[in-house]
């Protein structure tokens, strides 16, 4: 949460590149690695996996794939959480592309 509000990816950078990201198409899953430091549990690393449901045509389009990679590549510099803890916690990201389920519902 940021300023009392739940922070979520809005996909604005993807949408600006004509890659649909609204309606649950884009979601993120974060996993933290915790270590014991002088009897205190400390978060050392966080890995964020972005899940993006796109049509097969987007997956096959090299230019769209490159645009997706660029947009998600600079997300951390615009993310309030990453900007806050990035100096003391190692943050890595990856991307999983999927296709929407029949009926337009996104997986997950």
Decide: pTM greater than 0.75.
Answer: yes
Query: What domains are defined for the chain?
Result: 12-101 (3.30.300.20)
Residues 46 and 35: beta-carbon distance below 8 Å: no
Q: Tabulate helix, strand, coil % of the chain (nearest 5).
A: 30, 35, 35
Structure tokens at 54: 């796109």
pLDDT at 8: 46
pLDDT in tens, 33-49: 999 999 999 999 999 99
Q: How many residues does the chain have?
A: 108
Per-residue pLDDT for 9 more than 80?
no
Q: What is the pLDDT of residues 38-95, one digit of tens each?
A: 999 999 999 999 999 999 999 899 999 999 988 888 777 888 888 899 889 999 989 9
For the chain, what is the largest distance between any 2 Cα atoms, rounded to a whole number of angstroms?
52
Block residue for tokens 């205190």: 40
């Amino acid at each position: 949460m940021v300023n009392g509000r739940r922070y979520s990816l809005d996909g604005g950078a993807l949408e600006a590149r004509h890659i649909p990201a609204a309606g649950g198409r884009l979601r993120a899953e974060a996993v933290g690695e915790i270590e014991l430091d002088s009897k205190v549990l400390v978060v050392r690393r966080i890995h964020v996996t972005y899940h993006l449901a796109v049509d097969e045509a987007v997956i096959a389009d090299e230019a769209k794939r490159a645009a997706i990679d660029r947009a998600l590549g600079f997300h951390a510099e615009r993310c309030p959480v990453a900007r806050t803890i990035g100096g003391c916690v190692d943050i890595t990201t990856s991307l999983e592309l999927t296709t929407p389920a029949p009926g337009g519902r996104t997986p997950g």
